[in-house]
Amino acid sequence: MAHAPDRPAPPAPDAGGTTPAAPRLPHNPALDGIRGLAVAAVLLFHAGFPWARGGFLGVSTFFTLSGFLITSLLLVERRATGRVALGRFWSRRLRRLFPAAALTLVGVAAGSRVAGALATEGLAGDLLAALGQVANWRFVLDGQSYGDLFAAPSPVLHFWSLAIEEQFYWLFPLVTVGALALGRGSLRVYAAVLAALVAVAAAATAVHGVDGWSTAYYATYVRMAEVLLGALLAVAATAGALHRPAVARAAAVAGVPALAVTAWAWWAVDHRSPALARGGLLAYAVASTALVAGASVPGPVRRALSWAPLRLLGVVSYGVYLVHWPIFLVLDADRTGLGRAPLFALRVAVTLAVAAISYVAVERPIRRGWSPPRVPMPAVATGAVAAAALVVAVVPVSVPDGFTAEQLAYLEALEAASAAEVPEGARVGIVFGDSTMFRTAWGLSAWGGETGQLVLPGAVNDLLGCGVTRGGERRERGRATVAPQGCDGWEEAIPERVAQIRADVGRLDFAIAQTGPWDVADRRLPGDDRWRAPGDPVYDEYLYEEIARATDLFLEEGLVVVWVLAPRIEVGRNEEPPPDPPYPESDPERMDRLNEILQQVADERHGVVTVDLPGLLRSLPGGEMDPALRPDGVHFTPESATEVASSLGPMVLEAIASEPLGAPPAGEGDVASAAAGDGGG
């Protein structure tokens, strides 16, 4: 996120008592216009407009503009004073950036107590990483649980780009001082060093374009080329190139197609495109560099980008970027009931109001009114510790332990249902399964409450983020993980929870179960060195045995067992950027094989039935993979789960009625022989 160069401030005494003027750049309103245009692109992209699918590239424009401005400031200071005062530079950056960012993080932490969209798993760690200016590395390196797939996106996800810029502010002045010292002040040597760094970053991007691009998207060393191209333009400008008439005319002319290419990219480039890692980001950064150059000389681009609305938006762009994402998460379609266009208008209005208040009350007064040449390091350390303590104290502790706000609300609803009187004639069931079952059960509970026909007062595992298969390692979204603590204890938990619900409610008729993403991911079974998946005979047999064992435990409790067949999935649909190629667990053949095994278990037993959720989804207008139903490609939203439950609920009741209660389970020998006879089980 590019920030405005420092405005004139009262000079402060240095250590010797003199008052050197702080270096500053002449104000160019067109650069504010670039900020305004870029932040508008980001807002449109985050709002989900299909014609702004490339708006995420506005962040890349900010990177290039930041490189240009910061390098210009450093070179202007060195030319004026013969040196770069690093302490004063870092002090100005802290005054400019930290207060508004810290207030935003505190606001998110406080809001996580009252706004479900802000209370996400791992939020405390995300906030601390954002506070420490390493949020991008948090998202690259942190091993994340499966719950991240259905938890709301982190409300500080956008701090990844701020972290890259802040790391640039800390480290790049050292590179500048070292390169200028090495070249005895030669701008040519300095430019050669920057060009070499661009080449290294471009090479790193190309390597990650083949392997690991979805995580490297956040890596500082990958994205640095976009910043350094702006720095190279600043070297050329400082050397006087833009003041030469021929160069200035060329820059003014080149700025027009650069603006057109930028607009086209914001409209056409998909953030899943592998071309981004294969030179696309670098090419876009070249266009951004030409755009900044065109805005720096008299001409049509400079005039267009100085348009007052764009310029004013650019002035408050830092605050807009800081607060827009948590505001967008809180003000969503489900809460407001608005369509995309009116919802966007509401979100932007609130964002601009908050950003304007931040600019007038916090950013401008601090930047203009503080006179110390640097922020004392003890004060910085004290403030950071205090902010970290506030995060730890305020953020709900239950969320980082594996629960989202929606899970907590659902569990509270289950607890309330267990204490309520069951409507006469209603079927009472226990829930078992993974996070997809959590959303399905949410909808069925809402439908059952409205109709009085169905009550789901409890789950076997309250986390509801567990698969059925136990032990070993899973590899999902390219990362090897183990199941969350407590997921493998269902064999002991099933009879205990059944007894508890019967004691609380008075009766229990059926168990409803659903699994999917965890159990179709790559799997390394206990004692096995090989990664396997559905379709592998060894894994199919293990999957069959686990499903059969869970089913038989419910049957032994005298319950009808309803298995919800799993729809196909598209893991990573909501990642930025989504994976290329798709994650292996998205292979439809894997889910089809899981459903075959579920159906096999049901066919072999009395009292076990399946309901065809995939067929139900295929019968709807948007089909099985309708993003309106499952925006992340895996899980229903609470609202879409309730919508689907209006059809699924009657299917569940019909399935229960088709089987006798308390039917005896198949014998162990029958299970084993059935698995062997399948050829894959």
Q: Are strands 454-459 and 427-433 parallel, antiparallel or unpaired?
A: parallel
Instruction: Give yes or no: residues 240 and 320 share one domain.
Output: yes
Residue 587's CATH number: 3.40.50.1110
Q: For 207-226, write each residue's pLDDT tens digit.
A: 765 445 555 678 898 899 99
- Dist. CA 470–CA 472, nearest whole Å: 7
Domain hosting residue 424, numbered range? 405-677
Task: Determine the pLDDT at residue 529.
Answer: 85
Q: Is 6 within the bounds of a domain?
A: no
Q: Is 7 within the bounds of a domain?
A: no
Task: Determine the pLDDT at residue 547.
Answer: 96
C-alpha dist (Å) from residue 333 to 81, 152, 340, 517: 55, 14, 7, 26
Task: Provide the 3-class DSSP secondary structure of residue 469.
Answer: coil
- Dist. CA 288–CA 277, nearest whole Å: 17
Task: Provide the token pair at 376.
Answer: 């004392």
- Dist. CA 12–CA 374, nearest whole Å: 9
Closest by CA position to 194, among listed 220, 224, 219, 222? 224
Instruction: Give yes or no: residues 262 and 375 share one domain.
Output: yes
pLDDT at 576 over 70: no
Tell me the DSSP string of 371-401: --SS--HHHHHHHHHHHHHHHHHHS-TTTTT
Q: Is 73 within the bounds of a domain?
A: yes
pLDDT-derived band at 631, boundaries 50, 70, 90: confident
DSSP state of 471: S
Instruction: Give yes or no: residues 521 and 662 share one domain.
Output: yes
Helix intervals (H) in 514-587 = 517-520, 537-556
To 5 degrees, how large is the angle CA 263–CA 267–CA 270? 125
Residues 6 or more apart in contact with residue 594 via CB below 8 angstroms = 515, 516, 519, 520, 534, 543, 566
The answer to whether 587 and 633 have CB atoms below 8 angstroms apart is no
Instruction: Give yes or no: residues 598 and 561 share one domain.
Output: yes
Closest by CA position to 262, among listed 17, 548, 40? 40
Instruction: Give yes or no: residues 410 and 385 share one domain.
Output: no
Instruction: Give yes or no: residues 449 and 475 share one domain.
Output: yes
Say how many C-beta atoms besides its own lie within 10 A of residue 633's C-beta.
21
pLDDT at 58 over 80: yes
What's at 74, amino acid-wise? L
Closest by CA position to 267, among listed 105, 539, 413, 54? 54
Instruction: Enumerate the β-bridge partners of residue 459.
Output: 431
Q: Is 409 within the bounds of a domain?
A: yes
Task: Provide the token pair at 133.
Answer: 């200016």
Task: Provide the token pair at 287.
Answer: 């266009």
Task: Determine the pLDDT at residue 372.
Answer: 41
Tell me the DSSP string of 265-299: HHHH--TT-GGGTTTHHHHHHHHHHHHHHHHTSSS
Q: Is 18 within the bounds of a domain?
A: no
Task: Determine the pLDDT at residue 628.
Answer: 87
Task: Provide the 3-class DSSP secondary structure of residue 433.
Answer: strand
Say how many C-beta atoms besides its own lie within 10 A of residue 105's C-beta.
24
Q: Is 19 within the bounds of a domain?
A: no
Q: For 212-266, write each residue's pLDDT tens digit.
A: 555 567 889 889 999 999 999 999 999 999 989 999 999 999 999 999 999 999 9
pLDDT-derived band at 438, boundaries 50, 70, 90: confident
Last residue of a domain, one of 340, 373, 394: 394
- Could you give the number of structural domains in the chain? 2
pLDDT at 67 over 90: yes
To 5 degrees, how large is the angle CA 77–CA 78–CA 83? 110
pLDDT at 18 over 50: no
Instruction: Give yes or no: residues 353 and 448 share one domain.
Output: no
Q: For 165-181, write each residue's pLDDT tens digit.
A: 999 999 999 999 999 88
Instruction: Give yes or no: residues 583 and 666 share one domain.
Output: yes
Say how many C-beta atoms besides its own lie within 10 A of residue 210's C-beta.
10
Q: Is 82 within the bounds of a domain?
A: yes
- Dist. CA 106–CA 390, nearest whole Å: 8
Give the least confident one: 56-65, 235-244, 460-469, 671-680: 671-680
Q: How many percent of the chain have pLDDT more than 70?
A: 79
Instruction: Give yes or no: residues 285 and 431 share one domain.
Output: no
Q: For 273-320, write each residue's pLDDT tens digit.
A: 777 877 889 999 999 999 999 999 999 999 999 999 999 999 999 999
User: How many angstroms separate the first and last alpha carbons of the chain?
Assistant: 54
Mean pLDDT, the chain, rounded, equals 82
Task: Provide the token pair at 596.
Answer: 């075959």
Q: Is 2 within the bounds of a domain?
A: no
Last residue of a domain, one of 335, 359, 394: 394
Task: Provide the 3-class DSSP secondary structure of residue 156.
Answer: coil
Mean pLDDT of 587-595: 96
Task: Determine the pLDDT at residue 17.
Answer: 39
Instruction: Give yes or no: residues 369 and 461 share one domain.
Output: no
Q: Which of 114-123, 389-398, 422-431, 646-655 has the highest mean pLDDT?
A: 646-655
Instruction: Give yes or no: residues 650 and 546 share one domain.
Output: yes
Last residue of a domain, one of 330, 361, 394: 394
Task: Provide the token pair at 218.
Answer: 């956040």
Instruction: Give yes or no: residues 82 and 171 share one domain.
Output: yes
pLDDT-derived band at 83, boundaries 50, 70, 90: confident
Helix intervals (H) in 115-186 = 123-131, 135-141, 159-182
